Structure 1
Amino acid sequence: MTKTPLACWAGIGLVAMTLAGCAVGPDYATPGQLLPGQWGNAPKTTKPLDAARLGGWWKKLGDRRLNEIVERAVAGNLDVASAKARIREARATRRQAIGALLPQIDGQGSATRSRSSAATSSSGTNITSNLYQAGFDASFELDLFGANYRNVEATTYGVDAADEDLRATLLTLIGDVATNYTEARGAQARIALARRTAASQRETEKLTRNRFTAGTASALDVERAAAQAATTEAAIPTLEASYAQSLHQLGILTGEAPTALAGLLGSGGPIPAARGTPPAGIPADVLVNRPDVRRAERQLAQATAKIGQAEAALYPSVSLTGKISTTALKTGDLAKNSSIGWSFGPTLSVPIFNGGELRAAVEVAEAQRDQSDAALRLAVLTALQDVENSLVNLAKERQRAGKLSAAATSYREAARLSRTLYQSGAASFLDVLDAERSLYSAEDTLLQSRVTATSNFVALNKALGGGWDRPVEVERKRVVDTNTGPHLRAAY
């Protein structure tokens, strides 16, 4: 008698294996993308870009402090921590979906002690008895039309999308760190320039006062010199505030206090710069190298699988249930042949009338799939735009920086000549003020251009899909719960 249920379950397994290949709904296929063959603003090439060449791009800036901050940001950034948690969530959701493909078995047991009164007893005496029961309940839904299979497929794509989301988060993080670090160094350089210029202008003011005392300069010249020095000094607090904002943002990006990196950056340093331009490859590379594009593609695949899951609800479903139980008056009599009972059988459920709810659910899934398809195509176009814009911006800003450097050199010589001529009486004081003002403006604009050029270099690497190229630990939880087993409830 005990062998019969096992044979039945073996038959059930055979039926399930026979029907396992059936599914409804569309099978996902990666959509084709109509892309240009060449970049419009890069050297012509037909060779795809090796993604390995994009890894660790920030190291080309040659700044070890930047490298250190990137490492700290990857380890401590809170957006990265959230992305890691989303991966764990996606993986757990997939395991849940897989569980629906397997039989569900529950064990149960009970022990009852009862007493019947003499008035109801055939023997005319009070009777006390025990009743023990134990058994297993099992159920198994035959995935006839692939609803559970489509769910596993959808959650598998969801895991892939979560992986790409982490890569996209890291790409954005590293770009933000590099940009804010560059802006912080640019602010420091501009502060130093303003202080040097203000000190020089104060020297000019002192020279003018001496000439005024000697009767060779006017009081107007003295006041003009003082006003120009004060104007330059007035720019310093604004630049210091700009530096502080970049510093604070770097602290937040590393997951630390806003001023945590003050000691690391406080000693100053050059503005990071890279001479070369990263290879752009061909436009089709963005489909492979951009994690946001890959994430959008996986989300489209997930939405497609959910259509089949919704459509399967339109068809009949069959579940197999079974039970094995044993009942005895004594625990020693449990599991004996005479006390064992069993039952099993199929349950058929056929949707007959639901007011169009199930069909509407399919249409909802189809509409969501179309939204994901549009999101993918937009992500591709946005990626192409990002690369083209970054290529142009980097090239043109470097050209601009070259012209600004030449202008600053000329203004530097003009300032030197005007001061020499003024001291010899061959030039007016207005010429000196104009030359110093122009020199400061040219040098300050040149520093801003260098910051912009490096920021454009960062943007181009981001647009091409360059990011973190080493494994990231995602299974380690940031919050570790304790005392999670059975325990006394806390009083509130």
Structure 2
Amino acid sequence: MIAHPIATRTSYRRGRRTTAAMLLTLPWLAGCMVGPDYQKPLMALPASWSQNGATQPNRPPELAQWWSRLNDPLLDSLIDEAVAGNLDVASAKARIREARASYRQSTGALLPSTDGSGSSQRSKSGGASTGGSNTAWGYKAGFDATWELDLFGGNRRTAEAARYGVDVAEEDLRNTLLTLIGDVASNYVNLRGYQARIALAQRTASSQRETADITRNKFEAGAASSLDVANATGQAASTEATIPSLRTSYAEALHRLGVLTGQAPSALETRLKKSKPIPRPKLPIPTGIPAEILNTRPDVRMAERQLAQYTARVGAAEADRFPSVSLLGNIATSGAQIGDLADHSSIAWSFGPSLSVPLFHGGQLAAAADVARAQRDQYFIAYKSSVLNALEEVENAIVGLSQERIRYGKLATSTQAYRQAADLARTLYKSGSSSFLDVLDAERSLYSAEDALLASRVEITQDYIALQKALGGGWDGRVRIDEPEIVDRPKTRPVVFVQH
């Protein structure tokens, strides 16, 4: 670096013309910012979704409070509690506060900085050889000011990147809320599904135990074989064996809901213990057009803001390769007494520009600019990838929902047929026109069909949740961001009791 010497009081008059000429050029130079100006990239998107299913693609998606269309007030309250108490949301809010503080910090670099100083010193001179000593006090005070003119926009590019960083943090919060709401809804639906499947297994096992008892009584009366008794007992035990695994899955969903709402895993056990129907969405579901993904998906918007942020950082890195000019000023005063600091004769000052020119850094500055460009390329690719992934998720959710509805219809038909077959098998067995194995086979098929029907009902709602998440549906209410998690309290002074 080559620095222009600061003009002192004695040389100020000689350099004032040069300084004045430089100041006249500042308005023009201040508008110069090196590096690329950000422009939002254009993405070629399809005009409509390839799999329409039962949806209405031309209507905008109904994303606001989408979970309320499941008509479950308890789910609504759990989502409200999760938004208020979830720890991932709290971390995202802290990142917003950090980003905003970083932005204020970077904009502060655009303004002059000033510092004041003061000191007092006691000194002693002389000694035994001089016949005595003198003790004196000395006082000093000063005031320094610096202002970097940011001729090539390095500081402004840094502030621009920090402003985009605030947008990134805000979109990160929206994405966290989207994921959180989807997870709460998904685990709640699973929990209700496991409750229904446990109840089904218990009813079926109870019925099968009664059948086994009847068969055992008939065997003792000589009207049934030991094979029938073994088969009836084994089928009841097999159905009962499915209950522990269902209860384990139920407990996992319950515990996950507790943690998602920011509470202990078992905190919601009492509230969720009573069984309720599996939530079912209102169909059909409008999905809008693919281009709306760019405005509704927070992860896509976050990737776009990150691209803007790293585009600005390219300009900041480029500005480091150009000269920098600062205005420096200093006022200093000293005296033997405090009152002497205000005397005109004790005051010295200096003012003038400082020029710093990068001459040789072994290619570091150019390499730093290349690093910034490579990072921008990575975030450009990440943005394109986020758009394609979003489109893929929506397409998959549309297909999954439409196909699961078809599957559910078939399962409902098969369940009805197996129920009729089971009733007929029991009637024929009682009349002696059919074997007991036919009854066992019909009951086994009926239980499998009823269990699959419940699982399919859960899957339809899960596909609905996945579609809403893929479309970008999340929290649209207010979130308190400015409240810190830790509030520092001022230290209290100790109380001293004086005895008289």
When normalised by structure 1's length, the TM-score is 0.93
SS in 2 for 1:28: coil
Match among 89, 93, 97 for residue 98 of structure 2? 89
Q: After TM superposition, list the pairs within 5 Å mapping 1:476-491 onto structure 2.
A: 476-483=483-490
Match among 34, 48, 56 for residue 44 of structure 2? 34
Q: RMSD of aligned C-alpha atoms?
A: 2.4
Deviation at residue 213 of structure 1 after TM alignment: 2.5
Quote the residue 2:68 is aligned against: 59
Q: After TM superposition, list the pairs within 5 Å mapping 1:327-366 onto structure 2.
A: 327-366=334-373
- The answer on 1:220 being equivalent to 2:227 is yes
SS in 1 for 2:342: coil
Q: Is the 8 A contact 2:174 2:474 kept in 1?
A: yes
Q: Which amino acid counterpart does residue 36 of structure 1 have in structure 2?
A: P
Q: After TM superposition, list the pairs within 5 Å mapping 1:357-396 onto structure 2.
A: 357-396=364-403
2:166 & 2:326 partners in 1: Cα distance?
29
207 and 263 in structure 1: CA distance in 2 versus 1, 3 angstrom threshold: same
Q: After TM superposition, list the pairs within 5 Å mapping 1:126-205 onto structure 2.
A: 126-205=133-212
Q: Is the 8 A contact 1:278 1:461 kept in 2?
A: no
399 and 376 in structure 1: CA distance in 2 versus 1, 3 angstrom threshold: same
- The answer on 1:21 being equivalent to 2:39 is no
Q: Which amino acid counterpart does residue 22 of structure 1 have in structure 2?
A: C
2:23 & 2:81 partners in 1: Cα distance?
52
Deviation at residue 331 of structure 1 after TM alignment: 1.3
38 and 369 in structure 1: CA distance in 2 versus 1, 3 angstrom threshold: same
Q: After TM superposition, list the pairs within 5 Å mapping 1:65-464 onto structure 2.
A: 65-117=74-126, 126-464=133-471
Q: Is the 8 A contact 2:178 2:469 kept in 1?
A: yes
After superposition, the C-alpha distances for 1:225-254 in whole angstroms (9 at most, x for unaligned) are 011000000110010001011111111111
Q: Identify the range of structure 1 (322-331 vs 395-404) with the bigger mean alpha-carbon deviation.
A: 322-331
Deviation at residue 75 of structure 1 after TM alignment: 0.8
Percent pairwise identity: 57
1:48 & 1:94 partners in 2: Cα distance?
39
355 and 219 in structure 1: CA distance in 2 versus 1, 3 angstrom threshold: same
Q: Is the 8 A contact 1:107 1:137 kept in 2?
A: yes
User: Can you give the 5+ residue segments of structure 1 that lack an aligned partner in the other structure?
Assistant: 488-492
After superposition, the C-alpha distances for 1:440-488 in whole angstroms (9 at most, x for unaligned) are 000000011111111000000000000001111111011222347999x
Deviation at residue 12 of structure 1 after TM alignment: 8.9
- The answer on 1:49 being equivalent to 2:56 is no
Q: Which amino acid counterpart does residue 20 of structure 1 have in structure 2?
A: A
Q: Is the 8 A contact 1:16 1:143 kept in 2?
A: no
User: Can you give the 5+ residue segments of structure 2 that lack an aligned partner in the other structure?
Assistant: 1-8, 495-500
Q: Is the 8 A contact 1:277 1:457 kept in 2?
A: no
SS in 2 for 1:127: strand
262 and 343 in structure 1: CA distance in 2 versus 1, 3 angstrom threshold: same
Deviation at residue 223 of structure 1 after TM alignment: 1.1
2:104 & 2:445 partners in 1: Cα distance?
68
Q: Is the 8 A contact 2:333 2:347 kept in 1?
A: yes
After superposition, the C-alpha distances for 1:271-305 in whole angstroms (9 at most, x for unaligned) are 11113133111100000000000000000000100
Quote the residue 2:4 is aligned against: none
2:165 & 2:190 partners in 1: Cα distance?
37
After superposition, the C-alpha distances for 1:92-127 in whole angstroms (9 at most, x for unaligned) are 110110111111100100111222216898xx7633
Q: Is the 8 A contact 1:310 1:358 kept in 2?
A: yes
1:128 & 1:144 partners in 2: Cα distance?
51
Q: Is the 8 A contact 2:167 2:305 kept in 1?
A: yes
When normalised by structure 2's length, the TM-score is 0.91
Q: Is the 8 A contact 2:58 2:286 kept in 1?
A: no
Q: May I ask how many residue pairs the two structures share in their alignment?
A: 480
Q: Which amino acid counterpart does residue 314 of structure 2 have in structure 1?
A: I
Q: Which amino acid counterpart does residue 245 of structure 1 have in structure 2?
A: E
SS in 1 for 2:330: strand
1:93 & 1:294 partners in 2: Cα distance?
21
Q: Identify the range of structure 1 (211-220 vs 19-28) with the bigger mean alpha-carbon deviation.
A: 211-220
Deviation at residue 49 of structure 1 after TM alignment: 2.4
